[in-house]
Amino acid sequence: MVTDPPTMATRRRGGASRILAAMAGTVVVAAALGVGVGFASRPKLPVSPVVPTSTISATVRAAALYQTALNTIAASIGFHYIAIYPETETIVGDAGCSVGEQVVTFKSSYGVEAFTLVLDDTGTLYFQGNAPAVKDQLGVSTSKTPEVENRWVSLVSGNGPYPELASGMTVAEQGVFLPMTPISVASVKVGKRAATQIVGTATVDDPGSAALLDIDTRTHAPLAYSSTAVTTRGPATSTVTFSAWGTQVSVTVPAAAIVWSTLGASTPPSGYGSG
């Protein structure tokens, strides 16, 4: 199906992505094996055609490798990543076990938003951004924006924008960047490294579009993810690349910051960070 260009802001809508990513392995195995879910009183459905054993095996293997890749992400002490969503958002970050840092550029109705996020090991999140980002991400009024733009603002759990901004910052939440339903696998090379490519479909933003995940054949660490949607202007491919696996991540906490709860901010009409 031909659609308009995707407006991907995966991290901004991280909650649904994480749930889908966690469920994808289970769902695809059930589908491949023909497991039905329903009520006893529901009329019997026509018998589906028999799926070849080879197809079931490939799908089961793809689902298992995908889950292993997600587990590898969550078990890592840290890594670097770059996520690029065509014409909408770029995220460059480092994820650690309890800390993280991101530099984000996001095109929205507020303008081109540019901001930096730092999560420390106490769970406090620090935000520094330009005027469009301050309005959209923090809900700061236009009149107060000049006092806040390009200054550090601290947020804690329970603050309105915190869930959206903190999503995807640590290794435990990085599955948000790999939303797919695995179907099959193939052997490929990424540079000089032997890799396994998991082939499937995207589950969020552009459901059903082609998705690929390359993982290191030996360690199962993700190397690159992409999803390609068909748009009125041609194929649009989003990518996420991973590197520096096993690197301990440290962050520098700002010496001073404005406390978000003192800003008198309110939820933007479409929600925090909705653009």
User: Regarding predicted confidence, which is higher, 35 or 126?
Assistant: 126
Query: Residue 35 has what pLDDT?
Result: 34
Inter-CA distances, 255 with 151, 154, 185, 215, 258, Å? 11, 11, 48, 39, 11
104 contacts 128 by C-beta, under 8 angstroms: no
105 pLDDT tier (thresholds 50, 70, 90): very high
Query: Residue 176 has what pLDDT?
Result: 81
Output the CA angle 128-130-134, nearest 5 degrees.
75
In DSSP terms, 228 is beta-bridged to 210, 237
Residue 263: which of 146, 132, 92 has the closest Cα? Answer: 146
Of 68-82, 148-162, 219-233, which gets the smallest average pLDDT? 219-233
132 pLDDT tier (thresholds 50, 70, 90): very high
Query: Residue 137 has what pLDDT?
Result: 98
Query: Residue 51 has what pLDDT?
Result: 44
Q: Indicate whether 13 pLDDT > 80.
A: no
Q: Indicate whether 112 pLDDT > 80.
A: yes
Q: Indicate whether 50 pLDDT > 70.
A: no
A 10 A CB-CB count for 147 gives 11
Q: Indicate whether 208 pLDDT > 90.
A: no
143-181: pLDDT as tens digits: 999 999 999 999 999 999 999 999 999 999 888 889 899
In DSSP terms, 111 is beta-bridged to 108
Please state the domain extents for the chain: 10-31+52-77+178-241, 79-172+250-262
267 pLDDT tier (thresholds 50, 70, 90): very high
Residue 124: which of 95, 81, 90, 165 has the closest Cα? Answer: 165
E strand spans, the chain:
78-85, 89-96, 100-108, 111-119, 125-129, 153-155, 180-190, 193-202, 210-216, 222-231, 234-243, 258-259
Q: Tokens 């195995």 identify what position? A: 29
Tokens of 213: 């995940």
Q: Indicate whether 133 pLDDT > 60.
A: yes
24-47: pLDDT as tens digits: 333 333 333 333 333 233 334 444
84 contacts 72 by C-beta, under 8 angstroms: no
Give the span between the Cα atoms of 140 and 148, in whole angstroms. 8
Residue 187: which of 179, 198, 178 has the closest Cα? Answer: 198
Q: Indicate whether 239 pLDDT > 50.
A: yes
Query: Residue 55 has what pLDDT?
Result: 60
Tokens of 95: 């994820």
Average pLDDT, the chain: 83
| Span 8-27, average pLDDT | 35
What sections of 34-121 are H helices per DSSP? 53-75
The three-class DSSP label of residue 49 is coil
Report field, pTM of the whole predicted structure over 0.75: yes
